[in-house]
Amino acid sequence: MLTVGTATTVGSVTSAREGECEVALKRPVCAPEGSKIAINRRIGARWRLIGVGTLRE
């Protein structure tokens, strides 16, 4: 799950390398380049923050 600003969407990682990853979103979000992103993963019954990032085109 990704949170960009106040928008939340779900996606799957398509490519990951050297501190950078590409994610295919199930529902697109609109956000300016440079926006901060919170990356969450479901662990057990809860969503846990596993990382943060910056939006790039």
Q: For the chain, which domains are there?
A: 2-54 (2.40.30.10)
Q: Which residues contact 31 (CB under 8 A, 6 or more apart)?
A: 4, 5, 7, 55
For the chain, the maximum distance between any two Cα atoms, rounded to a whole number of angstroms, is 33
Give residue for tokens 């943060």.
52
**What is the reported pLDDT for 56?**
85
CA distance 41 to 57: 23
The answer to whether the CB of 36 falls within 8 A of the CB of 29 is: no
Is this model's pTM higher than 0.85 or not?
Answer: no
**What is the reported pLDDT for 19?**
85
Residue by residue, pLDDT tens for the chain (57 residues) are: 999 988 999 999 899 999 888 999 999 999 999 999 999 999 999 999 999 999 987
**What is the reported pLDDT for 38?**
94
Residue 2: alpha-carbon gap to chain centroid? 3
